[in-house]
Structure 1
Amino acid sequence: MMVYSQNRVRYQNHLNGAVSVVDQNAEIPVTLPTRRDPACPFDPPEELTRLRDSQPLTRLAFPDGHVGWLVTGYDAARKVLADPRFSVRMDLKHSPLPRRNVLAGSGDKPAPGMFVVMDDPDHRRFRRLLTGQFTVQRMRRLEPRIVQITADHLDAMAETVPPVDLVQTFALPIPSLVICELLGVPYEDHAFFQEQTAVAVDLDASVEQATVAAGRLTGYFADLVRRKRSRPTDDLLGGLITDSDLTDEELTNIGLALLIAGHETTANMLGLGAFALLCHPEQLDAYRADTSLTDSAVEELLRYLTIIHRGSPSRAALADVELDGQLIRAGETVIIGLPAVNRDPERFADPDVLRLGRDGARHHLAFGHGVHQCLGQQLARIEMRIGYRMLFERFPALRLAVPAAEISMREASLAYGVRRLPVTWEQA
């Protein structure tokens, strides 16, 4: 048991990815599990919800003895994410996880080009270059290709004998192929980067295993950048090479960050979203019957599921900041508990109910908020809008092939999702 006082924290146990939350009104703090209840796979951990309802800004003890903060309230989360007095730099933050995300870097300063863990003005420099590549026009040009990619995979799925794993046949290959086309990554290499990414973001993998996987991915992109430098291509990486003065190391890390963000998160959302819809037949029936629900359904699934769940996003206070009547001191780390934030009843009515036509669902923070809001969020929305709609139109009788309780969840990954999703349907 850990005892907290104003001057000392003794951390004695760190099991199953759990961290300890300090209740400032009690001698012995409660323990906050990061794992969800298997009987309620779409809901945040029950203790996280309880903390939000009682004290949405809570002291948090980290495995290394640091005492920071946990934010579970919507308004407080928006304030932290929008405030430049809170830094994203890895070297300034403490981690509540068994190990740090090796892909983001953990040295004395952010790796060149790894803009996702940079503060302004460095972050702004890279963001502006990338915003010029993630144009509305480019996303619109990609839409017909995304439709074709999705149709091809659904055609192939229809030719197989059910049951099939929807993750391997649908949720994973579609965003992988899309991000490959966007970046200019040969799709024949997709099995390699999927395998290495899975290890790098798996918190059950050892530091050595994750570091080796990250090194392989970095080496792959370094070679790809060199090839594109000698022979420019009409894709995002090619555009950055032609239109900027970025170094090869910066381009390598940018490509790595975009590849992982572009397929890992969207793949998990496609799989988990399909699982949620199959478990809510009344919502799925309404979705099939009303095409006007397409956009709001995507936003509601993003809010309801919130796949970024293991100690992220996080910030380090650069100065003393008063927040909701509490003083966050310079150097303290703040963790945003997004699964609880996006279920805050102060912001969303009946937040634990999946309602695809919900007004205001788009105000979720699943893509973050402020200057670090997800750069590829519009592409992710397009892929989900097309993917969900085409899947359930093509397979109107799609259903789970096993009881929902037997679906294995990706608890130890940085992005929550399903490991496998066996589905079946009536063949003609």
Structure 2
Amino acid sequence: MNKDQVLAAYEQAKEVFKQQGVDTEQALAQLAKTPISMHCWQGDDVKGFEIAQRELSGGIQATGNYPGKARTAVELRADMEKAFSLIPGAKRVNLHAIYIDSEEDVDRDKIEPRHFERWVTWAKEQGIGLDFNPSLFSHEKSDDGFTLSHPDAEIRQFWIDHVKASRKVSEYFGRELGTPSYMNIWIPDGMKDQPADRLSPRKRLQESLDEAISEKIDTKYHIDAVECKLFGIGAEAYTVGSNEFYLSYAATRGTALCLDAGHFHPTEVISDKISTCSLYIENMQLHVTRPMRWDSDHIVSFDDETQAIMREIVRNELLDRMSIGLDFFDASVNRIAAWVIGTRNAQKALLKALLEPVAKIKAAEQEFDYTSRLALMEEAHSQPWAAVWDYFCLQQNTPVGPDWLEDVKAYEKEVLAQR
């Protein structure tokens, strides 16, 4: 589709939405300023760049051996820049502590802001914010299946110190980049078979977290978040950091809550949880992913749940309290294409939600006119939102439709194939 066709289709769509009381220009402006936090670990299969290279553990697996994965932080940043050029709108980058960029061999309890200076310099050049995560997996001190809830006080303290150090890195990001860094704490702690004592590990986790986040940090720079999980590989019977644990913790400690689309029972969806959590939790973080088989972390598609998540955020006017991030890792396809597909799908779902006639739908519901409510919701699916998306891509100087794939293929031939 050429430029004139995109513009003509947009003008027609603009009129259609105007008749529904929807301002497309306002929707586009909101989409343009809403960043999606793109996760760095898709680019290298969650290996990181610590000098002491370790095998993946903690129930994390990246399957596939597609050629060209990033081997260094320099390569990873170059790959992300390529993805940025094909994704419209605002972006952020979400880093794990294992993505340290330093020649110094430092263990995780000793990381400092200076070990991530190159990331900050790059983020300034790109005009983006950074988010952060302590990495409580793939380490010899997590081999027992426990970290912050470990019965050994010394091991527990190591991970407490790692979280403390990570908070300083996150604060550094926020100060340097002028936008708060969401720092999400996830741990793999749990048991493969039924435990005799479910309470003690949770008491230890509570105490460890309290100590780890005891120092007050201005939320202008840093926001703590905690993330639950239903179960993991090697922790099928019992997960210390359950939904009830972290929801209660966030509500009583004032942290943000991270909801991961793959971390619940297969019949549960986080779109249904957002409104409830918003009553008790000020800030929320989302890990948008596709749990094809529970937490399988497939590339985000334009599926029902991704659309439902974005509708809940928009309908309830929660965008200013929400950090939207991605979390998937697929080593069976071109990793840059995975970023582009997943991020653009998240943005498409958000735009579609922004183009709903929300006021009309809510008014019908308040009048108990459920017929009109259902009709308006269903008709919204077939409105010409795709024409508005194409216009947004054109407006943002990024490829329209599948044209971006040619750029990825060329980059694969010229760069990835040489690694």
TM-score bracket for this pair, using the shorter chain length: under 0.3
TM-score of the aligned structures, taking structure 1 as reference length: 0.22
Q: TM-score, normalised by structure 2?
A: 0.22
